[in-house]
Amino acid sequence: MALRIDRLTTLYVVDPIRRRTSVGKSSISILMYHSIADEDEAGVHPYYRTATGPAVFASQMESLHQASFSVIGLGEAIRRCSEPHTGKSVVITFDDGFRNFYTNAFPVLDRYGFTATMFLPTAHIGESTLTFKGKECLSWSEVRALQKHGISFGSHTVTHPQLHDCDAHAIREEVVGSKQTIEQKLGCAVQSFSYPYAFPETDTSFKRRLRDELGQAGYENGVCTTVGRPGPESDPFFLKRLPVNSDDDPQLFLAKLAGSYDWLGKPQYLLKMAKKWVSAGSHQ
């Protein structure tokens, strides 16, 4: 079994401190899911796994219900971040448009009356079932059926590239094209964008260019893969999220929702900065 430094630090260092210092504080969390299926990820470190088994997902949604979390959309989350609020709120998001959301996740969400936002890589969503990363994706008829039941949809680009490596024209095509396709297929405005792959949070010039592109395309908010929870100072286009998978036992899952996992964002940022400095020095 792989050593989980993130879990040990969260549960036995950060969470006890948080419990003593954060009593009564309200919170908003954005959960990041991908595939809801039993998959063999034995060769992947638990932190980097992206599959959540249906039974685990059902247990996690039951935990939200039992803990009286309010499940809200991204727009409402941004509004609550900027205003005083009480209670516990969570946004549930899914990347990649996998069909197992339709078969394994939605019935559980529907049972509790929970909403969610699914981000679609539109090149892999068709009138018939297409595949992405070796898994079946939603069809447009399934997307429309889910929309009728309160599921929101946002853009995950067209082809799911690493946008940081794309030129300006390609970025615009990915950002605008995916939005237009979803709007044409669903007949409603697309407000949300999800950045594919690891977010280059240390590249301020790239973030500024991408933010401009998103704003010009008509997006109102977005999420990325940076670990943490949003707050009043958050950039509405690059909201932090909490990654979730089958290795999140109930104790760790609830600790993440409470804010005890937010600490991980800082060392990850510092590591990215160090790599950036080393890279810059090697090119001098």
Q: What is the 3-state secondary structure (H, E, C) of 96-151?
A: CCECHHHHHHHHHHHHHCCCCEEEECHHHCECCCCEECCEEECEHHHHHHHHHCCC
Question: In the block, which residue shows the tokens 């030129």?
Answer: 167
In the chain, where are the structural domains located? 26-278
State the pLDDT at residue 27.
77
87 phi and psi angles, rounded to 5 deg: 90, -175
Q: ∠ CA(276), CA(278), CA(282), 5° rounding?
A: 115
Q: Output the pLDDT for position 282.
A: 63
Q: How far is CA 193 from CA 175, 210, 227, in A?
A: 8, 11, 17
Predicted local confidence at residue 20, as pLDDT: 87
Query: 177-186, pLDDT tens digit by residue?
Result: 999 999 999 9
Predicted pLDDT at 284 = 59
Residue 2 has pLDDT above 90, yes or no: no
Amino acid at 223: V
Nearest to 272 by CA among 181, 174, 202, 169: 202
Are 133 and 121 contacting, i.e. CB atoms less than 8 angstroms apart?
Answer: no
Which one is predicted more confidently, 24 or 233? 233
Q: What is the fold of 26-278?
A: TIM Barrel (3.20.20)
Helix H or strand E segment including 275: helix 265-282
pLDDT of residue 87: 79
Confidence of residue 283 (pLDDT cuts 50, 70, 90): low
Q: What is the pLDDT of residue 169?
A: 96
